[in-house]
């Protein structure tokens, strides 16, 4: 590392520490949150569920009066995955694939819940910094020759978000956080039947007069159990054995059907 780069890194770290210290002194609120369950089990009859988030805002003697009160914004994020979007075109009466684009890293699930419209809680700069809201969500391209820009990038990004919303995997729900009192709040995060397995982060942001005051994060594990867990583990850890098992089951099913429906 060069001396100039070392100085730049040091200055950046020092600036971050100063800002964090200033926030800790200026903000007298504290945020305590919890979720109804830190584990979601997916079985064969799983049709979706909800995770309840609840929390409280604690104040001390240094707390200043907030002119507009408090706002809560919750972001539930699933593990990253690759997403490929295909553009279709009608040709000779049928739909055919025209073009496609792949995002190398995009949330497999994301839900934004708030007590008001997101644009009323914070300015676009803050929402962009923390990727709060579908408008400010980052879908990472590979950075190579296939990287899109301008109107083409916006076209594919909007299409990706729209498709994920139709699958209930991308959600933005204003007015879904309820204040039970001036300092106690709750919200319900919907998880669809197609929810991917993995570790999820539930981030709770406390805003006051448009400024971020505190943030807290909880983790949720979504996993398959029973026969689904066995099949998923076999497919990922023993793909050859899984493939042979599928072929054997197909052969057995065909043989069994021929025996049952055979005419003497």
Give the side-chain half-sphere CA count within 13 A for 246: 10
- Which of the listed CATH numbers 2.120.10.30, 2.60.40.10, 2.60.40.3880, 3.40.50.300 matches domain 29-224? 2.60.40.3880
| The predicted structure's pLDDT at residue 36 | 94
Can you tell me the mean pLDDT for 80-87? 84
* Nearest C-alpha neighbor of 220 from the set 94, 117, 75: 75
Q: Which residues contact 46 (CB under 8 A, 6 or more apart)?
A: 193
Is the Cα dihedral 35, 39, 45, 47 positive or negative? positive
pTM: 0.73
pLDDT digits (tens, 9 = 90+) for 165-194: 999 999 999 999 999 998 999 999 999 999
| The predicted structure's pLDDT at residue 155 | 85
115: phi then psi, degrees, rounded to nearest 5: -80, -15
Domain boundaries along the sequence of the chain: 29-224, 226-256
Q: Which residue has the tokens 């497999």?
A: 108
Question: What burial class does residue 237 get, using C-beta atoms within 10 Å of its C-beta: 0-12 exposed, 13-18 middle, 19+ buried?
Answer: exposed
pLDDT digits (tens, 9 = 90+) for 91-106: 666 766 677 788 889 9
| The predicted structure's pLDDT at residue 243 | 65
């Amino acid at each position: 590392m060069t001396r100039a780069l070392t100085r730049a890194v040091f200055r950046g770290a020092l600036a971050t520490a100063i800002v964090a210290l200033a926030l800790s002194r200026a903000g007298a609120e504290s945020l305590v949150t919890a979720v109804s369950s830190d584990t979601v089990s997916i079985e064969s009859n799983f049709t979706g569920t909800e995770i309840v988030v609840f929390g409280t805002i604690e104040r001390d003697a240094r707390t200043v009066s907030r002119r507009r009160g408090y706002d809560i914004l919750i972001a539930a994020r699933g593990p990253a995955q690759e997403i490929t979007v295909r553009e279709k075109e009608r040709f000779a009466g049928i739909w055919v694939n025209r073009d496609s684009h792949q995002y190398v890293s995009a949330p497999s699930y994301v839900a934004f819940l708030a007590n008001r419209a997101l644009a009323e809680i914070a300015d676009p700069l803050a929402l962009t910094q923390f990727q709060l809201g579908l408008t400010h969500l980052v879908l990472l391209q590979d950075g190579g020759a296939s990287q899109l820009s301008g109107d083409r990038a916006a076209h594919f990004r909007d299409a990706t978000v729209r498709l994920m919303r139709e699958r209930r995997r991308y959600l933005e729900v204003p007015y879904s956080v309820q204040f039970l009192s001036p300092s106690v709040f709750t919200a319900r995060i919907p998880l669809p039947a197609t929810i991917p397995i993995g570790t999820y982060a539930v981030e709770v942001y406390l805003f006051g007069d448009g400024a971020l005051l505190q943030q807290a994060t909880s983790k949720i594990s979504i996993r398959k159990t029973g026969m689904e867990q066995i099949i998923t583990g076999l497919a990922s850890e023993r793909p050859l054995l899984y493939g042979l098992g599928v072929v054997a089951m197909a052969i057995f099913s065909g043989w069994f059907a021929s025996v049952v429906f055979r005419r003497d």
